[in-house]
Amino acid sequence: MTTPSTPLLLRRVFPHRADETIRCTRLLRSVPGKREVFDARWNDRPVVVKIFFHPCQARRHLRREWRGLNAVMARELTSQKPLFYGRTDAGRWALVVDKIVDSQPATDVFASLPEGPERVELLKKVCRELAAYHDRGVLQQDMHLGNFLLKGERVFLLDAARMKFRSRPISRAEGIAQAALLSVILTDVDAGDIRELCRSYLDARGCAPSPVDEARMASLRNRYRSVAVERGLKKTLRTSKRYQRVAGKTVRGVYEKAFFGNADLRPLFDRLETLTGAGEDAGSGKARAASILTWHGKKLVVQRYRERGLIPAIRRTLTASHAKRGWLNGYRLIMLGIGTPRPVCYVEFHRGCFVRESFLITECIEGKTLAETLQDRGLTAGRRETLLQHVWRQVHRLHEHRIVHGDLKQGHILISAQGPLLTDLDRMTVCAWDCLFKAWRDRDLQRLNLDGPGEETDRV
C-alpha cells in the first residue's frame, strides 16, 4: 500500500518516457485488491493519482480509464484532464490526472443540506449535466451521486472507465433510467419531487415531459433503491474517506473516521473486554452484553457478542458475526431514512480460523426505552397516542422495505429527541419470500404488543 507523504517514483510510459516524482498527500479511496486513489502534487501542481494493483487486470483497468478520459475530453464534456501514466518503483500501474481544485464531492454537498427542496435542487443540477453527457452519446454504467464533483455551478462526472461511448445520443428510456438511479439517494421524497427531477432532465435534453415518463421514473426508482442500498453497504466494509478497515492476525473490523478522528483505536481494541466489564451496564444476556462507556470524551454504547460453542463460531465465521450484522443493518436503516443509533465501529476477535467474540460500537443517544416511557405515570393520553403513532410509522416504514426486526419489542425501541430509534439489529432480516415475510412480520407485531404493559420476556 502506498503511504501518503512518501515520494512516489513513477517511470512515465505515455505520452513519452521519463522519470517523475509525485508526492501523495491524502488517501481518497481504496478498493481492496484493485486500486487506491490519492490526492497528490506533481511539480507543485495538484493532481490525482490512481494506482492499480490487481494481479491480472491492473493494466487493462488503467488503459480503460485512460481511453475513457480522453474520449470525454474529445467530446468537450466536463471531466478530469488525463496527464500521463506509467509504472511505480514497486511495479504497479499508475494514472495521473489533473485535480479539479476547490471542488467538492456531490455526496458531501448533499449530506450538508437539510432534507427537502435544497437536496432536490442539487439533484436537478446534476440531472442537467447528465443530460449533456447523454446528448453526446456518453452513458455512465456506474451511476450514483458519488461519481460527481461540484465546483460552483459546474458539475463534473467521474469514473470514465465505466462509461460507454456511442455514436448517437442515449435513448430517452435509458436516460430516464439513469436519472432514476440518481434519485434513490433521496429518503423522504414524494411523487412531486420525482416529477420535478424527470422534467428537469427532459427539459435539458429538449424533450417534452409526459406522464408516462414520470410514472416510469417513479417505478424504476423503487426498483433501484434496494440495489443502491446493497452497493452502499459494501462500501461501509472497505477503506475510504469515510471508513477505515482494521485487519490483523486476530482482529478485524471497520470504524468511521469522522467519529474517531485521528485517534489510535488499537488501545481500545486491546481493552474492549476490560472496558465492557467496567462500563455502566445497559443490558445483558447469555450470549451478549451491552455497556455505556466514555472514550476520549465521547459516550459510546458497546455491545459484546460471544459465540457459545464451536458450531455457532463456525456459522458466524462463514456468514457474518453478530457485530458485523448489526453494523450493516444499522447502515441499512440509515440509508432508508429509518431512525437508529449510528454505528461507528465493529470489531471481531478471531481464535485460529473462527470468530469467537465480536463488538459493535454505536453512538450513545440519551433517552428511555418505549417500555419505560409507557410505564411513566406522568405520560398523558394525548402524548401517549402521538408517541405510538410515531412508533407505528417507523415500524411501517421498516416493513415497507420487507425488513423484519427479528426481536422487535418495546425494550428495543429508544425514545429520544430524534424520535423513535430501533436498536439491537443483529437479528434483522430482509425477506425475499412473501410467506416468510408475512409470518415474521406478524411475529414482530405480536411481540411488540403496543397495547400491553411493555413487559416482555427476553428472547433466548
pLDDT in tens, 406-422: 888 898 999 988 889 99
pLDDT score, position 285: 40
* Integer Cα distance of 324 and 348 in angstroms: 8
> Mean pLDDT throughout 30-36?
82
The residue ranges of every structural domain in the chain are: 7-98, 104-235, 243-363, 368-448
- pLDDT-derived band at 200 (thresholds 50, 70, 90) equals very high
- pLDDT-derived band at 165 (thresholds 50, 70, 90) equals very high
Task: For the chain, give the mean pLDDT.
Answer: 85
Looking at the predicted structure, is the pLDDT value of residue 90 above 60? yes
Are 344 and 300 in contact, with CB atoms under 8 Å apart?
yes
> Mean pLDDT throughout 313-319?
71
- In this structure, the number of other CB atoms found within 10 A of the CB of residue 457 comes to 7
3-state secondary structure of 4: coil
pLDDT score, position 225: 81
* Integer Cα distance of 45 and 79 in angstroms: 17
What pLDDT digit, counting tens, does each position of 123-153 carry? 999 999 999 999 999 999 988 888 999 998 8
pLDDT score, position 188: 66
Looking at the predicted structure, is the pLDDT value of residue 99 above 60? yes
Q: Which single residue is written with the C-alpha cell 432536490?
A: 120
What pLDDT digit, counting tens, does each position of 317-337 carry? 777 888 999 999 999 999 888
> Mean pLDDT throughout 221-225?
82
Q: Which single residue is written with the C-alpha cell 480509464?
A: 65
- pLDDT-derived band at 273 (thresholds 50, 70, 90) equals low
> Mean pLDDT throughout 210-216?
89
Percent of the chain whose predicted confidence (pLDDT) is above 70: 90
Percent of the chain whose predicted confidence (pLDDT) is above 90: 30
Are 256 and 275 in contact, with CB atoms under 8 Å apart?
no
CATH, domain 368-448, list 1.10.1740.10, 1.10.510.10, 3.40.50.300, 1.10.10.60: 1.10.510.10
* Integer Cα distance of 9 and 124 in angstroms: 42
pLDDT score, position 32: 76
pLDDT score, position 127: 93
What pLDDT digit, counting tens, does each position of 71-83 carry? 999 999 988 899 9
* Integer Cα distance of 237 and 104 in angstroms: 23
pLDDT score, position 276: 47
Q: Is the dihedral of CA 135, 136, 139, 143 positive or negative?
A: negative
> Mean pLDDT throughout 168-193?
86
**Assigned CATH topology for domain 7-98:** Phosphorylase Kinase; domain 1 (3.30.200)
User: pTM of the prediction?
Assistant: 0.64
* Integer Cα distance of 390 and 146 in angstroms: 32
- pLDDT-derived band at 282 (thresholds 50, 70, 90) equals very low
pLDDT score, position 459: 40
What pLDDT digit, counting tens, does each position of 351-384 carry? 777 788 889 999 999 888 898 888 888 888 888 8
Are 147 and 107 in contact, with CB atoms under 8 Å apart?
no
| Cα 150 to Cα 4, 29, 108, 268, distances in angstroms | 25, 18, 10, 38
Looking at the predicted structure, is the pLDDT value of residue 287 above 60? no
Looking at the predicted structure, is the pLDDT value of residue 452 above 60? no
| The length of the chain, given as a count of residues | 460
Closest CA to 47 of 9, 101, 6: 101
- In this structure, the number of other CB atoms found within 10 A of the CB of residue 293 comes to 20
- pLDDT-derived band at 16 (thresholds 50, 70, 90) equals confident
The two domains 104-235 and 368-448 share their CATH topology (first three levels equal): yes
pLDDT score, position 64: 93
Are 166 and 137 in contact, with CB atoms under 8 Å apart?
yes
* Integer Cα distance of 300 and 294 in angstroms: 6
- In this structure, the number of other CB atoms found within 10 A of the CB of residue 173 comes to 10
> Mean pLDDT throughout 79-97?
91
pLDDT score, position 72: 93
- In this structure, the number of other CB atoms found within 10 A of the CB of residue 435 comes to 8
- DSSP 8-state symbol, 213: H
Q: What is the CATH number of domain 104-235?
A: 1.10.510
